[in-house]
A = this chain, B = another copy of it.
Amino acid sequence: MRDISIIGIGQTPVGEHWKRSLRDLGTEAVLAALEDARVKRPDALYVGNMLSGQLSRQENLGALIADYAGLRGTEALKIEAACASGAAALRMAYVAVAGGVHDVVMACGVEKMTDTLSDETTTGLVSAADAIYEGEQGLSFVALNALLMQRYMYEFGYQREDFAGFAINAHRNAVNNPCAMFRKLISQEAFARTRMIAEPVSLLDSSGIADGAAAVVLASTEFAQAHGLLSVRIAASAVATDSVALHDRDDPLVLQAARDSAQRAYAQAGLGPDDIDFFELHDAFTIMAALSLEAAGFASQGEGVRLALEDQISLQGRIPICTMGGLKARGHPVGATGLYQVVEATQQLRGQAGANQLQGCRVGMTQNIGGSGAVAVTHILERVE
């Protein structure tokens, strides 16, 4: 198998783009990434998206975005893994180039969640859960995370305010990201008095519903070097799954898919948690940030929240997370999120992260989670010296 690099990145601002459609957003990100890579026509385009059928009554998104981006004819398919759809599209692009089926492949994640044809965003999001055992029973996605957070607090003796650090850190980092949705600081006091969505999950524990698109171009590292392209190599790519329904798990506080995909990625890269300079994790809710840190080996069970309490997750901390705002403050256009994470990690490794630049970072990890931990896609990216 070939060594693979990211040779181009593109993204739209995340926000409520009431005047822009799914295809507009996807096309903008694709064209930006192609320009960045100085590539005219990739061999294939894999589009990560979760909700286009339910919210925009639009499927066949691969063909649609390929056409609008001037790539009519190109192999193009949509990849879905709930909120992990973006990284899943990257996974498929990686598989196609690493194995030599294609030489240059794009992954684009796109989601349109506001001002849609069929404005049922909350109902749509529940389709990431088990439709029969969770969705039909009236559990929203916030409610599922509330169950997890409540149990975590009970088991390990935390208060809801202990999770504030995740939101504060995300907002602090978003201030300097021109593509972020919420570019303002929040305080511990604001977190304490914010309103409840589903107790103990508050507004400030939750990522924002948003529109946006992000894209990357992949090629062999050899191709990148031959063409003098800025290159960040993909040291590992791994997917793992778990039960979709929470009640079916041995321990709902263990994100087994996240743990398995991180372990597979570490094994592929020959690295461990100590080698990771920063971690773009899936902080759809603050509880997910805590559980992800534990699943990926940065904290033992029940200790993930401590990293936030001790401010080990900031840009100066032991394991910086959400370095450009994370899902919480950059925003969470679900099917696009996994590629925003990878675009931001690439910015860090290229030294293009502006005021949020991590000094001397060499290895970053991204982890995109679908459902309440049903599927996890982990990538390890490495600066090419």
A residues sitting closer than 8 Å to B (CB atoms) are: 1, 21, 44, 50-54, 56-64, 66-67, 71-82, 88, 91-92, 95-96, 98-101, 117, 123-124, 126-132, 135-136, 238-244, 248, 256-257, 260, 370-371, 374-375
* Complex alpha-carbon distance, A140 and B71, angstroms: 26
- Interface residues of A, dominant DSSP: mixed
With beta carbons under 8 angstroms apart, the residue of B57, B60, B73 that contacts A371 is B60
Q: For residue A64, which residue of chain B has the nearest CB? A: B244
Other than the given A50-B53, A63-B244, 9 more pairs (CB < 8 A) read A51-B59, A58-B131, A60-B128, A63-B81, A63-B242, A67-B244, A73-B260, A77-B79, A79-B80
CB pair A82 B101 closer than 8 Å? no
Question: Pick the contact of A63 from B50, B98, B241 — CB < 8 Å?
Answer: B241
Residue of B with least CB distance to A239: B75
A60 contacts B82, C-beta separation under 8 Å = yes
**Is the Cβ of B375 less than 8 Å from the Cβ of A76?**
yes
Most B Cβ at <10 Å: residue of A67, A73, A77, A371: A77
Q: How far is the CB of A113 from chain B (nearest CB, A)?
A: 13
- Complex partner residue of A78 from B57, B64, B79, B132, CB under 8 angstroms: B79
Contact A60 B98 (CB under 8 A): no
**26 A-B pairs in the complex with CB atoms less than 8 angstroms apart:** A1-B99, A53-B54, A54-B54, A57-B126, A57-B127, A58-B130, A58-B131, A59-B80, A60-B128, A60-B129, A63-B370, A63-B374, A63-B375, A64-B374, A72-B242, A73-B241, A73-B242, A75-B239, A77-B80, A77-B91, A77-B375, A78-B80, A80-B80, A95-B101, A99-B99, A99-B101
Contact present for A67 and B239 (CB under 8 Å) = no
Contact A60:B21 (CB < 8 A) given known A53-B124, A99-B95: no
Kindly name the residue among A51, A63, A92 whose own CB sees the greatest number of chain B CB atoms within 10 A.
A63
A193 to chain B, nearest CB (A): 35
User: Please, which residues of chain B bring their CB within 8 A of the CB of A374?
Assistant: 60, 63-64
Residues of B within 8 A of A80 (CB): 59-62, 77-80
Expressed in whole angstroms, the Cα–Cα distance for A244 and B76 within the complex equals: 12
What residue in chain B is nearest A117 (Cβ atoms)? B131
Which residues of chain B are within 8 angstroms of A242 by Cβ–Cβ distance?
63, 67, 72-73
CA of A99 to CA of B82, assembled, Å: 26
- CB of B59 within 8 A of CB of A241, answer no
Contacts of A99 in B (CB 8 A): 1, 95-96, 98-101
Residues of B within 8 A of A79 (CB): 77-80
Cα–Cα, bound, A75→B257 (Å):
10
- Cross-chain contact of A127 among B53, B74, B257 (Cβ < 8 A): B53
Q: B96 near A117 (CB under 8 angstroms)? A: no
- Do A77 and B124 touch (CB < 8 A)? no
How near does chain B come to A234, taking the closest CB pair, in angstroms? 12
Instruction: Give Cα distance in the complex from A204 to B57, angstroms.
Output: 27
- Chain B residues in 8 Å Cβ range of A370: 60, 63
Tell me the minimal C-beta distance from A376 to chain B in angstroms: 10
- Measured CB to CB, the closest approach of chain B to A72, in angstroms, equals 6
Q: Which residues of B contact A100 (CB under 8 A)?
A: 1, 99
Q: Residue of B at shortest CB range from A62?
A: B81
Residue of B82, B91, B117, B130 near A136 (CB, 8 A) is B117
- Chain B positions within 8 Å of A241 at CB level: 62-63, 66-67, 71-76
Shortest Cβ gap from A303 to chain B (Å):
24
- Complex CA distance for A153 and B76, rounded to whole angstroms: 31
